[in-house]
Structure 1
Amino acid sequence: MKFLFIVQGEGRGHMTQAISLSQHLNKTGHEVVAVCIGKSSRRAIPDFVFESFSCTVTTFDSPNFKTDPKGKEIRIASTIVHNLSRGRIYQKSLMDIHSLVKKYQPNVIINFYDLLGGLYNFFYRPDVEFWAIGHQYLIGHQDFLFAQGFPIQKLLFILNTKLTALGAKRELALSFRPMKAPRRKKLTVLPPLLRKSIKGLHSNEGEYFLSYIVNPGYGEEIIFFAKKHPNIQIVAFWDKKDVPEIFTPLPNLTFHEVNDQLFLEKMANCKGLICTAGFESICEALYLDKPVMVVPVKGQYEQACNALETAASGVGIQHDTFDFLIFDEFLKSRQINNEQARIWMDSFPINFNRILTSTFFSDQAELLNQQPKTRIEVS
C-alpha cells in the first residue's frame, strides 16, 4: 500500500513520529511515496529529517506560532493575525499538496497534526483514506486531563485539533500510557511512535543534565542558571539560528543544534531530562528510564496539558522555570518503574497492523485478532 505524509514542522516531535512510522511501513512491505512538511521562517527543518526518508520530501508554508521578542512565550493574538494575513500563501500550499496527491496516488494520507493537512482534506476531498495521528487527539478520550484556568486557550487548542482532523476516517491518539477503550468510534489509542534507533541504546546514569528547548528564548534562562551553579553540568539542544552547531558559552554548559541521533545518545547517558513539555521527548526519556521535569511553553495550552499528564502519571514533575536544583532534589527521591511503559511502547507495530488489517484486509482481520495479545495494565 502507498502512504503520503503531511507533517507539521513545529518542534521535532511530529517529524520524528513520521520517520518512525515510515520505518515501520517500509519494514512491513508498504511504501511511503511522499512526505510534505509544513515550514515557517521561525525555525529551520533539521537536515536529519530529510536524510531519514527514502522518498520525495517537500516543504510548504504552513501556519505557525508567533512568540514574544525573547522567543519564549506564545502570543495567541499575534499568531491569529499573522496567519490570517497569509491566506494566499497557504492557498498555494494546499494546491502544492494536491499536486503531490494526484502525482503519487496514495491509498492513505496520514496527517501529523498540520492545520493545512486537515483543511486540504476538507476542501479537496481526495478519494483516499485520510487519517490523523498525534498525541493531541487524546482530547477526544473521556479520561483526558485538561489544564484548568485557560478557557480561551483551551477552546483554541480544541478547535485547532479538530481542524487538523477534518473529515478523518481515523484519529490515532498517541499516549505514553495505556488507556481505557475510547467511547468515540473513530478514535484509537496507540503507543508512542519511537524510532528504532532508541531501542538499541543502553541507558547509563551520567554526570550531566540534558535539556531540550523548543523555543530558543529559554536558552538565556539556562545560561543564567549555569552561571550561578558552575558545579552543575548541562548539555542542551536547541534550533537557534546564527549560532555554531556546538556552542559552549560556559565550561559547564554546551548547546547543540538539534541532532536526531546525538540527542538520543546524550539522553541515554544523562542524569535526567529537563525540557519544554513536548510529548515526544517525554516518551523517549520514559523508554530510557530517565526522570523528567517539564517546563510548559507559556501560552501553549497543549503543553500545559502535557505537563499535567506527566505529573499525574508519575512520569516526572513540572515546574515553571528551568531550575535544575529542584529537579536534582526530585532525583534523590524518585521511585519510578517504567517496565510496563516499555512493554506498551514496544507494542506499536502490532497495534498499528491491526488497524491496517481491519481497514483494508477485513478477510484477514479475524485471523490476526486470534493471535496472542500483549497483556498490558490499563490505568
Structure 2
Amino acid sequence: MKILFLVQGEGRGHLTQAIALGQILRKAQHEIVGAMTGKSAGRMIPTFFKDQIQASVYEFDAPCIAYNPNGKGMNLGRTIGTILSNMPKYLRAVQFIHKIVSKTKPDAIICFYETYGGIYNFLYGQKVPMICIAHQYLLLHPKFVFPENSRFNKSVINFNSRLTSWLAAKRLALSFREMESRNDLKITVVPPLIREEVLNLKPTCGDFLLVYMTHHSMSKKIVDWHQEHPEVHLHCFWDNAEADEVLRLDETLTFHRINSEKYLNMLASCKALVTTAGFESVCEAIYLGKPVMMIPVPNHFEQECNALDGVISGAGVRSKTFDLSVILEYLPRHQDQSEKFRNWYKSGASRFVQEIEIIAGDFTPVNH
C-alpha cells in the first residue's frame, strides 16, 4: 500500500510522530511515497526530519503561531492577522498539495494535524481516504479533562481539530493512557507514536536538568533563573538559527541548536526534563522514566491541556513559569510511570497498521 503523509511543521511533535509511524508502516511492508510538510517564515524544517523520514519531502507555505517578544507567549491577534494577510499564498499551498497527491497516487493520506487536511478534502473531494492522527483529537472526547474556565478556548481548539480532520475517514487520538474509543465521533484512542531511536535508548540518571523550548524567545527566563541558581547544571535546546551550534554561557548553562541525536542522548541521561508541554516530548520522557516539568507557552491553550493531562497521567508537575525550583522540589515525590506507559505503548503498532489497512481497503471515493 502506498501512503502519503501530510505533516504540520510547527514544533517537532508531529514531525517525530510521522517518523515513528513511517517506521511502523515499513515493517508492515507498506511504502511511504512522500511527506508534505508545512513551513513558515523564519522557521526551517529540521534536518532530523529530512534525514529520518526516508521519503521525498515536499515543503509548502503554512500558517504558524506568532509569539510575543521576551518569552511572553503566543500573540493571538498577530497570528490571525498573519493568516489573513497571507491567504492567497495559503490557497496556492492547497493547490500544491493536490499536485503532489496526483503525482504520487497514494492509497491513503495520513494527516498529522495539518490545517490544510480538512480544507483539501472539501476543495478536492475525498478521492483518497484520509486518516488524521494527533493528541489534539483526544480533546474532542467527552471524557477529556479540561482546565477550569476554558469554555471559549475549548471551542476554539476543537474547531481547529475538526477543521484539520474535516471529512476524514477517522481520527486516531494519541493518548498518554488508555481511554475508550468513540466510533460515533470517528475517534479511536491509541497509544503515542515514539521513534525507534527513543526505544533503543538505555536511560541513566545524570546530574543535570534538560530544557526544551519551542521558541528561543523563552530563553531569557531560563537565564534569569540560572543567575540565581548557578549551581544547577542546565542543558537547553532551542531553535535559534542565529546562535552557534553550542553556546556555553558558563560552566553550568549551555544552549544547543536542535539536534535530534544529541537531544535524545541527553534525555536518556538527564535528571529530569523541563519542556513547554509538547505532547511528544512528554511521551518520550515518560517512556524513559524521566520526571517532567511542563510549562505551557503563555496563551497557548493546547499546551495547558497537555500539561494537565500529563499531570493526571503521572508524568510530573506543571508550572506557569520557568521557575526550575518547582521540578527540584517535586523530584523526591515522583512515582515512575514508565512500566505502565510502556505496556500501553506496546499495544500500538499493530493497531495503527490495522486501522489504516481497514480504512484504505473499505474506502469508496467521494466527489463534491
Shorter chain as denominator, the TM-score bin is: over 0.9
Query: What is the deviation of 1:361?
Result: 5.4
Q: Which runs of 4+ in 1 moved over 6 A?
A: none
* Other-structure match for 1:368: none
Please tell me whether the aligned partners of residues 141 and 183 of structure 1 are also in contact (alpha carbons under 8 angstroms): no
Equivalent residue letter for 1:12:
R
Structure 1 320/31 Cα, relative in aligned 2: closer, same or farther at 3 Å? same
What does residue 194 of structure 2 align with? 194
SS in 1 for 2:184: coil
CA pair 346-127 structure 1, distance change in 2 beyond 3 A? same
In structure 2, distance between residues paired with 1:71 and 1:168: 36
The one-letter amino acid of 2:242's match is D
**Alignment partners' CA distance in 1, 2:152 and 2:130:** 29
Are the aligned partners of 2:18 and 2:53 in contact in 1 as well (CA < 8 Å)?
no
Which amino acid is the alignment partner of residue 95 of structure 1? Q
Separation in 2 of the partners of 1:189 and 1:359? 16
Unaligned 5+ runs, structure 2: 363-368
Counterpart Cα distance in 2 of 1:273 and 1:299: 22
Distance 1:74 1:177 in 2: 28
SS state of the match for residue 280, structure 2? helix
Question: Which structure carries more relative contact order (alpha carbon 8 Å, separation 6+)?
Answer: 2
Q: Which moved more, 1:104-113 or 1:181-190?
A: 181-190
Whether 1:262 and 2:262 are equivalent positions in the alignment is: yes
- Residue type of the partner of 1:87? M
* 8 Å CA contact retained: 1:67, 1:75: yes
2:270 pairs with 1:297: no
Which sits farther off after the overlay, 175-184 or 221-230? Answer: 175-184
Partner in structure 1 of residue 136 of structure 2: 136
TM-score, length of structure 1 as denominator length: 0.92
Runs of at least 5 residues in structure 1 that lack an aligned partner in the other structure: 363-379
Task: Describe the SS at the equivalent of 2:69.
Answer: coil
Identity among equivalent positions (%) equals: 40
Aligned mates of 1:157, 1:223 — CA distance in 2: 32
Give 1:60 shift.
0.5
Question: In structure 2, what is the Cα distance between the partners aligned to 1:112 and 1:100?
Answer: 17
Equivalence map 1:118-157=2 (5 Å):
118-157=118-157
Contact 2:129-2:359 at 8 Å conserved across structures: no
Q: How far 1:358 sits from its partner (Å)?
A: 3.2
Deviation at 1:302, TM superposition (A): 0.4
Map of 1:283 onto structure 2? 283
Instruction: In structure 1, give the amino acid aligned to 2:282.
Output: I
Q: 1:235-274 alignment to 2 at 5 Å?
A: 235-274=235-274
1:278 offset after TM fit, Å?
Answer: 0.5
Contact kept? 1:130, 1:169, Cα under 8 Å: yes
Paired with 1:94 and 1:183, the residues of 2 have a C-alpha distance of: 29
| 2:30 equivalent in structure 1 | 30
**Structure 2 equivalent of residue 53 of structure 1:** 53
Given that 2:171 and 2:188 are in contact with CA atoms closer than 8 Å, whether structure 1 keeps it comes out as: yes
TM-score by length of 2: 0.95
Residue identity matched to 2:303: Q
RMSD: 1.4
Q: CA deviation at 1:126?
A: 4.1
Deviations 1:312-338 (A, max 9, x none): 222211011112222111111222332
The aligned residue for residue 314 of structure 1 is 314
How many angstroms apart in 2 are the aligned matches of 1:59 and 1:353? 26
Task: Give the residue type in structure 2 aligned to 1:15.
Answer: L
Q: Deviations over 1:265-301 (max 9, x none)?
A: 1000000001101000000000000001100011111
Residues in 1 aligned to 2:329 and 2:338: alpha-carbon distance in whole angstroms: 20
CA drift at 1:206: 0.3
